[in-house]
Structure 1
């Protein structure tokens, strides 16, 4: 799967067939922290974020690492997997929001119900596999949303 994703990413980049956003000059660059325990998925999400013309400040593999990386990088948005070892995404989301109520966290899940995830305080939930258009719209909306 990762090999296919990488090839697609390279083809799109070389051909310039996908140009995210409507007007590059009016678009705000969003600093994104990615948390996913599967290295391949974290790398794929990072590539998608970059295709959306946003900045990846870090890719971590657990909820605990996400909490530490948030304190270090202070990203505009956290893109966090629900099911991770050591501390799942929902619990990490709650911890981050307890320290910074203005944090903008988007939870990503392939199987958890939206009811389970909304209670964590996330501003959005994206289903896996993440579609580029959905990711771009969600990141752009997150950048424009007022802090909680």
Structure 2
């Protein structure tokens, strides 16, 4: 059975991403227990994008959606990310490090402390001391922003499992 999935609205979260086949044939909602979602016979990965640059958020959203990855939401800083994680229950958070209000290291630490099942993958422009701090805070890995789209998608699929 095919059901229209609805994503709860959170500031900065986009519209539902399309048709999803869910276990039991029911649409996924944040109030239900998380069950594996299916898209064309494959498990769908839900990713929350956190980056302070709007053009990066839009580009990543388009890339992930075109690759069959469900964009659970987009956020401009770590504080928004904490609210969105609670509301959307993503499988993985794609986290920038240098952001205003709350940086990626602090947000990673808070997400991993409150929701240890959610993985955080750092996406950063430069390999710096902040990458090691994010890894120490619980990030599962990092990808440089200069990586190819194929490498980014592969890293997301590898680390979301």
- Fold match by TM threshold 0.5: yes
Count of matched residue positions in the alignment of Structure 1 and Structure 2: 121
Q: Distance in 2 between matches of 1:137 and 1:66?
A: 23
Q: Distance in 2 between matches of 1:53 and 1:32?
A: 11
Q: Distance in 1 between matches of 2:160 and 2:142?
A: 15
Which of 64, 68, 81 is the aligned partner of 1:66? 81
Q: Distance in 2 between matches of 1:48 and 1:129?
A: 14
Alignment RMSD (CA, Å)? 1.6
Q: Distance in 2 between matches of 1:138 and 1:130?
A: 10
- How do residues 1-148 of structure 1 correspond to structure 2 at under 5 angstroms? 25=40, 27-113=42-128, 114-144=131-161
Structure in which a larger fraction of residues adopt helix: 1
Describe the superposition over 1:28-66 as per-residue Cα deviations: whole angstroms up to 9, x where unpaired.
210111011100011111111112211101111011000
Is the CA contact 1:82–1:112 (under 8 Å) kept in the aligned structure 2? no
Is the CA contact 2:64–2:71 (under 8 Å) kept in the aligned structure 1? yes
| Larger RCO of the pair (alpha carbons < 8 Å, separation 6+) | 1
Q: Distance in 2 between matches of 1:46 and 1:64?
A: 20
Structure 1 gaps of 5+ residues are: 1-23
The 1:116/1:129 distance shift into structure 2, 3 A limit, reads same
